[in-house]
């Protein structure tokens, strides 16, 4: 009985040990399976994270390229805008310079016309003065001739009536002739001066 009892105990112990080994084996297999599962999930998570990181890097690269392209386009647009503004300013300056030049030419032309008009009026005034002077001289000569004729008749009458005053009258006649020559000489000088002024005006015109 003791032997049977020991054998039974021994069998129970062996069965218990076998059961424990079986449980340990299953536990190890379960842990290994869980470990593989965790490693697989970790791997997948790492791969997913790597993929996301790669996508983020690609997105950042694409974003930088897009921003660079936009900056280049903006720089080109700014450069074109500056060129248009400079061209506009240059055209405005050229137009302003052309308008100023035209204004100066117009003012010079108006001044030249005014000077020509003043010269024409001056020449007309001088010509009127010359004609008036010539008319005045002709009138003086006519009056002088009439006066001389009257005096000549008076002298002849006085000579006929007053023979005793012949010497005095002769002296007066000589003095009158001298004055007449001086007057004619003075008139010739005035006429020469007028003719010289007329030639100067004609040359000026």
What would the 3-class secondary structure string for 173-204 be?
HHHHHHHHHHHHHHHHHHHHHHHHHHHHHHHH
- What pTM, to 2 d.p., does this model score? 0.33
Which of 189, 183, 193, 175 minimizes the C-alpha distance to 143?
183
What lies within 8 Å, CB to CB, of 148 at 6+ separation is 180
* pLDDT tens-digit readout, 128-143: 999 999 999 999 999 9
8 Å CB contact between 195 and 126:
no
* Per-residue model confidence (pLDDT) at position 34: 93
Q: How far apart are CA 126 and CA 201, in angstroms?
A: 9
Q: How far apart are CA 66 and CA 187, in angstroms?
A: 105
Query: Which residue did the predictor score with more confidence, 46 or 160?
Result: 46
Lowest-confidence range among 42-51, 161-170, 188-197?
Answer: 161-170
């Amino acid at each position: 009985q003791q032997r049977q009892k020991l054998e039974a105990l021994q069998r129970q112990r062996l069965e218990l040990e076998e059961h424990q080994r079986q449980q340990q084996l299953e536990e190890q297999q379960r842990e290994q399976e869980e470990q593989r599962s965790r490693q697989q999930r970790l791997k997948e998570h790492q791969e997913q994270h790597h993929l996301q990181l790669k996508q983020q890097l690609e997105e950042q690269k694409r974003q930088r390229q897009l921003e660079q392209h936009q900056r280049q386009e903006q720089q080109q647009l700014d450069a074109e805008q500056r060129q248009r503004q400079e061209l506009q300013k240059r055209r405005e300056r050229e137009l302003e310079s052309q308008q100023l030049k035209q204004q100066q030419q117009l003012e010079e032309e108006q001044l030249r016309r005014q000077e020509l008009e003043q010269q024409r009026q001056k020449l007309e005034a001088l010509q009127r003065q010359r004609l008036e002077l010539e008319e005045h001289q002709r009138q003086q000569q006519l009056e002088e001739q009439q006066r001389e004729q009257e005096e000549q008749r008076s002298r002849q009458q006085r000579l006929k009536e007053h023979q005793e005053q012949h010497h005095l009258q002769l002296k007066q006649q000589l003095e009158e002739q001298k004055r007449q020559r001086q007057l004619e000489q003075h008139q010739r000088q005035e006429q020469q001066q007028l003719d010289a002024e007329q030639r100067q005006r004609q040359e000026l015109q």
